[in-house]
Amino acid sequence: MESLLKKAATCADAAEAYSVTSEEVPVSFEANRLKRLETKRTTGRALRVIRQGRIGLAASTVIDGSGEDDLVRMAVESSEIGETAKFDFPGLSTENSTLPRPRIYDPSIVEIGADELVDIGKNMIGIITGYDSEIRCDAQLTRGVEEMTIVNSNGGGGSYRKTVLFGSLVATAIDGNDILTVYRGTGSCRNVLDFQGLAEDVLEVLKLARRVVPADTGQLPVLFTPRGIMPLLLALRAGFNGKTVFQGASPLAGKTGLAAFDSRLSIYDDATSDHAIGSSPMDEEGVPTQRTPLVEEGRVENFYYDLQTAGLAGTKSTGNGYRATRSGDAFEGPPTPTTSNVIILPGDIDLTDMISGMDRGIIVDQTIGAGQGNILSGEFSINVHLGFKVEKGKITGRVKNTMVAGNALQALNDIEAMSKQTEWVYGQYSSPWFLFRSLGVATKGN
């Protein structure tokens, strides 16, 4: 890395070298049978330069010294057509003891073998098929370890290691033309996941969902589970993205410090949370991470930025510069503003009281078509993949062919209740249950 940086310094004004190595052991089951078991290793590095005021980027899977000259040449060539740089590489080393040190490495995860993952998958599936052998289950189990290093010509950078354990279960029950699918997923940087509890949760939902009832239509109260609320969070993620704000496309632009949501709503982007999958001491530009309040008591507080977008907007990076995606060959892409862990603070009402207080309405647990509608404006129209009808405080059965529509930004300013209970979804989103007073509910043929 230092050698690559020195070579880049001879033909660029500033440079940054980034490398990542990872090893994953993914195990997958399909239709109750083991389908795939493998070990995946990924290595790569990227060089970003600023030359004559423009950004250049090149990446390679060759991590020894043999490809350094080519990497420098490609980065310099790409700078000829690159964006104008609006930032300097950070000079603060993440070895500084005052910087965040979230706990994201668990050596016991590294010791988990493929056979253990296979046994976990078999046990989860066995819990479901022990109830009904006709139910088809797909399962995914993955354990992984990653090491990231970044250095730049301003003396900044650092490195960290992270472990990840992830599991999901999808159960499908077919009864004639009725197809019922229930899925759950969980993830953590610590080896504490309750996979048996996950499977038992899927089983309880399967039992609850066997009875199908017609849904009411019109403007109704709608209760979203932490999984069901994800489509509405898409609008928030887009609205708080610093790039969207700078471009003037966000409806939240210019509203910093103003009340835009229900006063009970507080949302944070927090890469410092222990054991959460999106946590790290620094982002993928070497900027220290932080707990950034996006919404506090209904007020718009901050947007999230990478270095380039912050420079364009005349502000500072919030430590949210991540490269393309957060998986696979992410090192090949340029950093963009991306959330780490999204944490929504709990409400003050018990979930059972929220349900018992509903005279009529529906519960939304799983959705499809989350990207439909105008995301930037907050408009959404989602198909309810798994939902339930509530009458006089009781769940009476599952609804089918149902759609919910509304505006996420408006709905989050008209919250009936938020639960005391919160749940981590896929190890990266923590949310309570949300009850909205009135959203549009329609069914097929209505």
Contacts 24+ apart (CB under 8 A), 74-80: 75/8, 75/12, 75/15, 75/47, 75/48, 75/49, 76/11, 76/12, 76/49, 76/51, 79/12, 79/49, 79/50, 79/51, 79/52, 79/54, 79/55, 80/54, 80/56
Question: Which of 283-297, 375-389, 393-407 has the least mean pLDDT?
Answer: 375-389
Give 73-107 pLDDT, tens digit per residue: 999 999 999 999 999 999 876 555 567 899 999 99
Amino acid at 95: E
The model's pTM: 0.93
Domain boundaries, the chain: 2-207, 211-232+346-443
Check residues 378 and 165 and name the one with the higher pLDDT: 165
Class of domain 2-207: alpha beta
Question: Does residue 432 surpass a pLDDT of 90?
Answer: yes
Q: What is the pLDDT at residue 113?
A: 95
Question: Is 327's pLDDT higher than 50?
Answer: no
